[in-house]
Amino acid sequence: MSPARRPLEGIRVADLTAMWAGPYATMVLADFGADVIKVEAPRAWDNLRTLIRPPLALGEHWWNSNAYFQEYNRNKRSLTLDLTTERGKEIFGRLVAQSDVVIENFRADVMERLGIGPDWLREQREDIIVVGMASFGKTGPDASAMAYGPVVEQLSGLASLTGYGDGIPFKTGVSYGDPVAGVAAAAAVVTALIQRRRTGRGQVIDLAQREPMTTLIGEAFMEWAMNGRLMPHRGNESATMAPHNAYPCAGEDEWVAIAVGSDEEWAGLCSAMGEPGLIDDARFATAPARLDHREELDPIVAAWTATVSKDEAFERCRTRGVPAGPVWTIPEVLGDAHLEQRGYYEDAEHAEVGTWAMHGWLWRTTDAGPCVLAPAPDLGSHNREILGGLLGVSDEEMDTLAASGVIGDTPIGERTRSEIVGSRR
Amino acid sequence: MTTADADGAPEAGPLEGVRVLDLAQGIAGPYAAKWLGSLGADVVKVEPPAGDPARLAGPFPGDESDPEASGLYLYLNTSKRGITLDLESEEGRGLLRDLAARADIVIESFAPGYLAGRGLDYEALRSQNPGLVLVSITPFGQSGPYAGTPAEEITLFALSGHMWLTGDPYRPPLKNGGSQPSYQAGLNALAAAIIAHFGSLMTGEGTHVDLSAQETLAGMLELYGPFASQAGIKPRRRGNTVSAIYGTYQCADGYAGVYCLPRNYENMARAVGIPELLEPPFIDADERLRSNDMLEALLSGWFFQHSGREIFEMGKSHRFPAGYVATVEDLLESEQLRERHFFAEDDHPLAGPVRFPGHLWLSSEYAWDTRRAPTLGEHTADVLTELGVSDERREQLRAGGALGGSDGS
């Protein structure tokens, strides 16, 4: 059976986003079939291309081939265009005229400073959908503040809820605010497409990255409203479940997370631990009793987990209906048997680095086929087909534009991998 | 709480006319469905007679458990109508089939196989409604060896790699706050539902979305997943501080952070105002890393002299990324969020006045509509009447147990 038509086929996105939040949004749109044209400039490329430098970043033209950039920019096309030049801006206007969506995650004032704010964009195409993803939004006294994911996390309230219980707040390992804003922005775009289909009108979306993040801690607002209390740091403990923790396993820095709510799960854990007699222990007989005695309970569970591998602890729990999860390292996530069997990782290929695995569908749909149809584009690699084919720029003019750096296929001022690695010897 | 435009007339939401059935319970599905309701869809939440377990989760006013006053439930079920149906009864299943025949989107979070076991799988539902989108949300998806395995927030956080990356390097891996894996699945389910519905509008063909919380989380491993895969890098948790200019510090009134890329450094250094920061070794990005401890010590002293808000304001005026660890109380008092009308308000009959996040983004074309969450079975009579079920028939169904308890009529 041939793969189903992708839902966003026929939708064109002029993508000015950079780093992680914005490109995550357009990754979702591209995966689901939109023609995402990533617009960068030879002097102002997506910083994600060069944020992690060689030797970690692989490939001679590492700004094209490194995995961080590749993962979130697959299925897109690349056009370079210097928007600070008159000609670049004029050609961009032609692209906008043939696009459904323009999306950016610049600081709040950048689009207006470039002279390509919503009014200008609507002049190019009346029903254009414009999405801005400034950290705190385009309006209000904090609009001019800039932030990356960890600051967004701090100012969303989530960091205030994360910690071991000694008062020190912690950030989530990744720049958690970025993909949250990205998925929300993808939803905003398609909501606007649905509305445009009915009304014929475009719209301007002002997505403050901090705001969708803040919706992910709703119960903390309710606790404040209802009881005037801030939710405490609970470490790995739960207000309602015990055992509920990361327990050390055999080996160094090996852990398994176990969470027991019901009495059935508790019975399952007793069996998994080979301690059937514990079921009769009155201290642990009910969920409230287990919570009251969690300080006695945790060492009992930890004494067992210390004797087994995290894989074995997981298997023994899983087969008995006990919620558990090994604290996978990152290579272990990539090798997770379940993800493997579901075909979660797909092969990506780039001439400079060969084949490696990247995550595919964020969610699966009927007869979807493979997610990754093309690796992330080399800088400017679609200039000719887009400028010539779509925007009516002659070959001759393309040469002129290349000579003046309005377009190009190399980040101006950046060095190749061998130049960088060589200079460190 | 319905928002209105300047003339006082309610604006049409972007999803006006879209019909949604929310069969899900807990956090993820209800979160997705709540926003569809705020965007103008007609969302009917179908609860089992005993109610969504989120009703038992709290927080509760005065810590008094009450299924009509659970803060979690009230937050996650705004802008929906609520009915009760017993899917264990043939008549309850028949009503669900009738509702699904008229729906555009159905969201569910049962264990894999639950609906199929009751003749309500996607093929059965779409046979009378080919454009139907079914969004199934589970911890591990509908297939594969872990399908059906029970999970909790902490176990999903562990199985997706995020727990390994979160926390102090000298202490155990740490779960982040709240219920992030479920919320994350819910946010992705929202996007999935909207994208699939758009596809259905374009082609007339619906689809079955198989959403796994583990997979949505594993797709957001920043640089760590990609570099482990391509270059064999094995990252480990690094706490709050990756380098002196990318970390959290104690400040005069709590904790604040500066998370700068090299290109932001000079702006930060000017704001801090210690002249040596603009000289060697600190002025060069590579040298700076070699003098990281010295830089961290200098910055620690500076942070300690300023409040979090002052540091944030300096980031604003000097253009570098700085923030502070805000509590929900800080956010409720934020002028920025007030000006953007971020919070929805409700004076709930049982829960009292509450304020909570009311939108995901702002649009020039619509406002978000927040209506209080339904009491258990509040709209059963209304919804059944719309289905063409007579009052008499409804009472028979109730007597037969298909509807569970009171419908509030």
pLDDT tens per residue, range B153-184? 999 999 999 999 999 999 999 999 999 999 99
pLDDT tens digits along A13-57: 999 999 999 999 999 999 999 999 999 999 999 999 999 999 999
Tell me the two tokens of residue B147: 């399908």
The catalytically annotated residue of A127, A178, A263, A409 is A178
CA distance B401 to B409: 16
Q: Does B54 share its domain with B187?
A: yes
Tell me the two tokens of residue A116: 């390509």
Tell me which chain B residue has its CA closest to the CA of residue A49: B223
Q: Are A26 and A38 in contact (CB under 8 A)?
A: yes
Q: What is the pLDDT of residue B405?
A: 57
pLDDT category of residue B350 using cuts at 50, 70 and 90: confident
Based on the residue annotation, tell me whether A178 is a catalytic residue of this protein: yes
Q: Does B83 share its domain with B102?
A: yes
Q: ∠ CA(B371), CA(B372), CA(B374), 5° rounding?
A: 115
Tell me which chain B residue has its CA closest to the CA of residue A177: B220
The domain boundary, picked from B331, B347, B362, lies at B331
Q: Which residues 6+ apart lie within 8 Å of B187 measured at CB?
A: A180, A183, A184, A187, A212, A216, B31, B32
- pLDDT above 70 (res A425): no
Question: What does DSSP say about strands A129-132 and B352-357: parallel, antiparallel, or unpaired?
Answer: unpaired
Question: In chain B, which residues have their Cβ closer than 8 Å to the Cβ of A333?
Answer: 159-161, 218, 221, 225
Residue B163 lies in a domain: yes
The answer to whether A22 contacts chain B (CB < 8 Å) is no
The candidate with the shortest Cα–Cα distance to A101, out of A133, A73, A75, A74, is A133
The answer to whether B162 contacts chain A (CB < 8 Å) is yes
- pLDDT above 90 (res A78): yes
Surface of A (363-402) touching B: CB under 8 A: 363-366
- pLDDT above 50 (res B2): no
The answer to whether A324 contacts chain B (CB < 8 Å) is yes
3-state class of B342 per DSSP? coil
Count of domains forming chain B: 2
Residue B225 to residue A359, Cβ atoms within 8 A:
yes
The answer to whether B59 contacts chain A (CB < 8 Å) is yes
Residue B231 lies in a domain: no
Question: In chain A, which residues have their Cβ closer than 8 Å to the Cβ of B365?
Answer: 192, 195, 199, 201, 203
CA atoms in the 13 A half-sphere facing the CB of B157: 31
Surface of B (334-363) touching A: CB under 8 A: 334-337, 339-340, 342, 351-357, 359-363
Question: What does DSSP say about strands A203-206 and B362-363: parallel, antiparallel, or unpaired?
Answer: antiparallel
Residue B4 lies in a domain: no
Q: What is the dihedral of CA B186, B191, B194, B195, to 10 degrees?
A: -140
pLDDT tens digits along A190-238: 999 999 999 999 999 999 999 999 999 999 999 999 999 999 999 999 9
- pLDDT above 70 (res A9): yes
Q: Are A141 and B339 in contact (CB under 8 A)?
A: yes
Q: Does B364 share its domain with B306?
A: no
Residue B97 lies in a domain: yes
The domain boundary, picked from B286, B309, B331, lies at B331
CA distance A78 to A410: 12
Task: Identify residue A223 by its one-letter amino acid code.
Answer: E
Residue A145 to residue B312, Cβ atoms within 8 A:
yes
Name the minimum distance, in Å, from the CA of B199 to any CA of chain A: 4
Q: Does B205 share its domain with B189?
A: yes
- pLDDT above 50 (res A288): yes
Residue B196 lies in a domain: yes
The answer to whether B156 contacts chain A (CB < 8 Å) is yes
Per-residue pLDDT averaged across A378-397, rounded? 97
Of B157, B191, B357, nearest to A183 by CB-CB distance is B191
The domain boundary, picked from B305, B331, B357, lies at B331
What is the rounded average pLDDT for all residues in chain A? 97
Residue B203 lies in a domain: yes
* A13 exposure class (CB count in 10 Å sphere: 0-12, 13-18, 19+): buried
Give me the CATH number covering residue B83. Answer: 3.40.50.10540
Tell me which chain A residue has its CA closest to the CA of residue B138: A363
Question: In chain B, which residues have their Cβ closer than 8 Å to the Cβ of A364?
Answer: 141, 209-211
Q: What is the pLDDT of residue B267?
A: 96
H or E element, residue B41: none
Residue B115 lies in a domain: yes
Question: In chain B, which residues have their Cβ closer than 8 Å to the Cβ of A248?
Answer: 172
Q: What is the pLDDT of residue A4?
A: 87
Residue A154 to residue B202, Cβ atoms within 8 A:
no
The answer to whether A301 contacts chain B (CB < 8 Å) is no
Name the minimum distance, in Å, from the CA of B397 to any CA of chain A: 32
Of A207, A327, A339, nearest to B163 by CB-CB distance is A327
The answer to whether B163 contacts chain A (CB < 8 Å) is yes
Establish whether the linkage from the previous residue to A150 is cis, with ω within 30° of 0: no
- pLDDT above 90 (res A58): yes
Give me the CATH number covering residue B269. Answer: 3.30.1540.10
CA distance B87 to B93: 5
Give the domains, in start order, of chain A with CATH numbers.
Answer: 12-215+373-424 (3.40.50.10540), 244-334 (3.30.1540.10)
Domain residues for B349? Answer: 19-220+339-400
Q: What is the pLDDT of residue B407?
A: 43
Tell me the two tokens of residue B50: 């005993």
Per-residue pLDDT averaged across A164-189, rounded? 97
| Three-state DSSP string of chain A | CCCCCCCCCCCEEEECCCCCHHHHHHHHHHHCCCEEEEEEECCECCHHHCCCCCCCCCCCCHHHHCHHHHHHHCCCEEEECCCCCHHHHHHHHHHHHCCCEEEECCCCCHHHHCCCCHHHHHHHCCCCEEEECCCCCCCCCCCCCCCCHHHHHHCCCCHHHCCCCCCCCCCCCCCCHHHHHHHHHHHHHHHHHHHHHHHCCCEEEECCCHHHHHHHHHHHHHHHHHHCCCCCCCCCCCCCCCCEEEEECCCCCCEEEEECCCHHHHHHHHHHCCCHHHHHCHHHCCHHHHHHCHHHHHHHHHHHHCCCCHHHHHHHHHCCCCCEEECCCHHHHHCCHHHHHCCCEEEEEECCCEEEEEECCCCECCCCCCCCCCCCCCCCCCHHHHHHHHCCCCHHHHHHHHHCCCCCCCCCCCCCHHHHHHHHC
Tell me which chain B residue has its CA closest to the CA of residue A150: B259
Per-residue pLDDT averaged across A347-369, rounded? 97
Q: Does B257 share its domain with B209?
A: no
- pLDDT above 50 (res B4): no
CA distance A92 to A111: 13
Q: Does B251 share its domain with B300?
A: yes
Q: What is the pLDDT of residue A116?
A: 98
CA distances from A18 to A26, A105, A129 (A): 10, 7, 18
- pLDDT above 80 (res B68): yes
Residue A218 to residue B227, Cβ atoms within 8 A:
no
Residue B231 to residue A207, Cβ atoms within 8 A:
no
Residue B197 lies in a domain: yes
Beginning with the edge strand found earlier in the chain, give each strand of the sheet holding B322-324 in spatial order: B246-251, B254-259, B322-324
Residue B178 to residue A231, Cβ atoms within 8 A:
yes
The answer to whether A358 contacts chain B (CB < 8 Å) is yes
Residue B329 to residue A224, Cβ atoms within 8 A:
yes
The answer to whether A238 contacts chain B (CB < 8 Å) is yes
Q: Does B354 share its domain with B324?
A: no
The answer to whether A334 contacts chain B (CB < 8 Å) is yes
Q: Does B317 share its domain with B363?
A: no
Q: Does B43 share its domain with B128?
A: yes
Of B18, B218, B246, nearest to A359 by CB-CB distance is B218
Tell me the two tokens of residue B4: 């209105």
- Widest Cα–Cα separation across chain B: 86
Percentage of chain A lying above the pLDDT 90 cut: 98
The answer to whether B140 contacts chain A (CB < 8 Å) is yes
The answer to whether B295 contacts chain A (CB < 8 Å) is no
Q: Are B54 and B26 in contact (CB under 8 A)?
A: yes
The candidate with the shortest Cα–Cα distance to B87, out of B68, B111, B57, is B111
Per-residue pLDDT averaged across A407-420, rounded? 96
Q: Does B280 share its domain with B179?
A: no
pLDDT category of residue B8 using cuts at 50, 70 and 90: very low
Q: Does B377 share its domain with B290?
A: no
CA atoms in the 13 A half-sphere facing the CB of A69: 27
Q: Does B309 share its domain with B209?
A: no
The candidate with the shortest Cα–Cα distance to A323, out of A312, A332, A333, A314, is A314
Tell me the two tokens of residue B84: 């009760």
Tell me which chain B residue has its CA closest to the CA of residue A6: B199
pLDDT category of residue A81 using cuts at 50, 70 and 90: very high
Residue A359 to residue B189, Cβ atoms within 8 A:
no
Residue A197 to residue B209, Cβ atoms within 8 A:
no
